């Protein structure tokens, strides 16, 4: 992004606000896209057909602008560490190394290695930690969502709200995906779980549960990413959901609003969302979109257009749920730049920043609760209160807690203890559910030496 106007220099402020102009980076700077037209770029079909799925396809786009060692590093990560398969829409690839000018073989290698979006969308082996690549308490379904399935793919964790995983795919795969157990294609390291019930029966079972469970009022319609469900089928599901009297809030989860905004700009998609939003409004139901943007570089004019199109279609709000990732955005200036780009540039509401969950091979992305608390402190006061993202820790068997809500904290061993004020759907008969302390673990490499020694002895 380029700076449009600079606020007067206010002496001594740790962060200086500057209004920015969103920019769509020039995709023709990459050899493989030299002849790609603006019409191609705007086409969702073209974007889907040209997603990068392996190092060979990446080389076809970048050619020798990136050194061979990068492709080797990428391939090794896929073979030995990756929990998600590679799937990168051109829109997202184009935001990487966008400030660097290509000037010959290898000239973009450093920019690619250091790029924040690359670091979570195209992880390479050398990014990962070698001392503790995984925390000893990491697990595939780290939030135990499957344990709380009321119907296949329908997680009932909180008293009044559910998560409906309509499908297990997305138009893009993020290296840190918390649903790595289920979402995407299997990798050499992870055999993905498969839904066993037929898609139509699965969705029907979800609706049946919601019809017969009046205490649920709020449904996060997710996946995967709802952008991968044909709009006619998504519209059909949402229309039937809106017929259930107890449902008052519907949130559509789609990272593709940023990763492939072209999808949400298609005429049939806009028309389908408009019909659903009109019905929602007539019934007094709030329909919102929740997207997932982790860095200001991802917020381009096309992303702003897609957000605007959804609000014009009648969606009440577009909100962002980013993930706090070391090497990507775990820095107060980066988080504020992201929040202002979303808010000023695209009218997307900064909402949550989740701490990266305890999945395997994610330690290089995770930060300690103490660092998350410090980041929350540092971003306070610059944004309007309603648009100041809350940094939350999704504590296994508890749910989202603001990072300052912990009950106890052993900073030497990096163990935080949390309580909760409701039972999950599997704890109706658990007398200790509301008094027990639930544990969450900081990355071991962030601990003092004595704490690291303790884990070496006890892991």
Q: Is 292 in the site for ligand SF4 (CB under 6 A)?
A: yes
Min CB(186)–ligand SF4 separation in Å: 14
Alpha carbon 245 to chain centroid distance? 30
Stretch of 134-142, 166-174, 353-361, 393-401 contacting ligand SF4, by CB under 6 A? 166-174
Q: Which is nearer to ligand SF4, 65 or 86 (CB)?
A: 86
Q: Is 177 in the site for ligand SF4 (CB under 6 A)?
A: yes
Min CB(359)–ligand SF4 separation in Å: 10
Q: How many residues bind ligand SF4 (CB under 6 A)?
A: 12
Q: Is 224 in the site for ligand SF4 (CB under 6 A)?
A: yes
* Nearest CA-CA partner of 142 in 108, 177, 95: 177
Q: Is 145 in the site for ligand SF4 (CB under 6 A)?
A: no
Q: Is 179 in the site for ligand SF4 (CB under 6 A)?
A: yes
Stretch of 22-30, 90-98, 198-206, 217-225 contacting ligand SF4, by CB under 6 A? 217-225
* Nearest CA-CA partner of 118 in 80, 163, 71, 165: 71
- The answer to whether residues 238 and 269 touch, using CB atoms and an 8 Å cutoff, is no
Question: Considering Cα of 92, then 314, then 252, then 325, what sign does the dihedral take?
Answer: positive
* Nearest CA-CA partner of 369 in 315, 309, 411, 421: 411
* Nearest CA-CA partner of 168 in 197, 143, 189: 197
> What three-state secondary structure class fits 392?
strand
Q: Which is nearer to ligand SF4, 66 or 355 (CB)?
A: 355
Q: Which is nearer to ligand SF4, 217 or 255 (CB)?
A: 255
Q: Which is nearer to ligand SF4, 63 or 360 (CB)?
A: 360
Q: Which residues contact 351 (CB under 8 A, 6 or more apart)?
A: 290, 319, 320, 321, 389, 390
Site string for ligand SF4, 261-280 (x = CB under 6 A): --------------------
Q: Which is nearer to ligand SF4, 87 or 247 (CB)?
A: 87
Stretch of 223-231, 264-272, 278-286, 333-341 contacting ligand SF4, by CB under 6 A? 223-231
Min CB(112)–ligand SF4 separation in Å: 20
Q: Is 255 in the site for ligand SF4 (CB under 6 A)?
A: yes
Among positions 230-249, residues that touch ligand SF4 (CB under 6 A) are none
User: In the set 97, 183, 227, 252, which binds ligand SF4 (CB under 6 A)?
Assistant: 183
> What three-state secondary structure class fits 355?
strand
Q: Is 295 in the site for ligand SF4 (CB under 6 A)?
A: no
- The answer to whether residues 109 and 100 touch, using CB atoms and an 8 Å cutoff, is no
Q: Which is nearer to ligand SF4, 140 or 211 (CB)?
A: 140
- Taking residue 337's Cβ as centre, other Cβ atoms within 10 Å add up to 21
Sequence-ordered strand ranges (E) for 372-454? 390-395, 399-402, 408-410, 415-418, 438-441
Q: What DSSP letter does each residue of 123-184 carry, written as one string?
A: --GGGS-SS-SS-TT--TTTT-TGGGEEETTEE--SSSEEEEE--S--SS--TT-TTTTTSS
- The answer to whether residues 227 and 4 touch, using CB atoms and an 8 Å cutoff, is no
User: In the set 82, 96, 117, 170, which binds ligand SF4 (CB under 6 A)?
Assistant: 170
Q: Give the footprint of ligand SF4 on this chain (CB under 6 A).
A: 170, 172-174, 177, 179, 183, 223-225, 255, 292
């Amino acid at each position: 992004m380029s700076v449009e106007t600079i606020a007067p220099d206010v002496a001594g402020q740790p962060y200086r606000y500057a209004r920015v102009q969103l920019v769509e980076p020039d995709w023709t700077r990459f050899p493989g896209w030299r002849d790609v037209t603006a019409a191609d770029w705007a086409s969702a079909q073209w974007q889907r057909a040209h997603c990068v799925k392996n190092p060979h396809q990446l080389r076809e786009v970048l050619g020798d602008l990136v050194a061979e060692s990068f492709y080797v590093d990428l391939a090794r990560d896929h073979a030995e560490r990756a929990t998600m398969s590679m799937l990168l829409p051109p829109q997202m690839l184009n935001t990487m190394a966008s400030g660097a000018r290509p000037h010959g073989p290898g000239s973009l290698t450093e920019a690619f290695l250091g790029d924040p979006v690359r670091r979570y969308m195209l992880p390479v082996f050398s990014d990962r930690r070698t001392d503790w690549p995984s925390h000893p308490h990491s697990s595939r379904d780290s939030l135990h969502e499957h344990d709380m399935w009321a119907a296949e793919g329908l997680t009932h964790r909180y008293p009044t709200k559910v998560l409906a995983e309509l499908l297990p795919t997305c138009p893009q795969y993020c290296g840190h995906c918390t649903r790595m157990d289920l979402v995407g294609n299997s990798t050499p390291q992870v055999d993905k779980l498969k839904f066993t019930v037929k898609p139509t029966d699965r969705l029907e079972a979800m609706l049946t549960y919601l019809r017969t469970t009046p205490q649920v009022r709020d449904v996060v319609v997710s996946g995967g990413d709802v952008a991968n469900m044909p709009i006619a089928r998504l519209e059909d599901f949402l229309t039937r959901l809106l017929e259930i009297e107890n449902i008052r809030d519907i949130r559509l989860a789609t990272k593709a609003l940023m990763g492939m905004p072209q999808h949400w700009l298609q005429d049939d998609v806009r028309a389908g969302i408009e019909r659903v939003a009109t019905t929602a409004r007539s019934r007094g139901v709030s329909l919102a979109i929740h997207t997932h943007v982790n860095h200001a570089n991802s917020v381009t004019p096309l992303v702003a257009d897609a957000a605007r199109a959804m609000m014009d279609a009648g969606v009440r709000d577009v909100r962002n749920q980013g993930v706090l990732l070391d090497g990507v955005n775990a820095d107060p200036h980066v988080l504020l730049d992201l929040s202002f780009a979303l808010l000023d540039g695209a009218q997307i509401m900064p909402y949550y920043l989740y701490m990266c969950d305890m999945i395997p091979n994610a330690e290089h992305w995770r930060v300690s609760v103490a660092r998350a608390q410090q980041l929350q402190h540092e971003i306070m006061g610059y944004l309007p209160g309603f648009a100041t993202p809350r940094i939350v820790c999704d504590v296994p068997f508890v749910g989202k807690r603001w990072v300052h809500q912990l009950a106890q904290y052993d900073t030497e061993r990096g163990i935080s203890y949390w309580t909760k004020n409701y039972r999950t759907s599997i704890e109706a008969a658990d007398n200790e559910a509301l008094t027990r302390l639930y544990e969450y673990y900081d990355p071991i490499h962030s601990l003092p030496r004595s704490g690291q020694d303790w884990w070496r002895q006890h892991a």
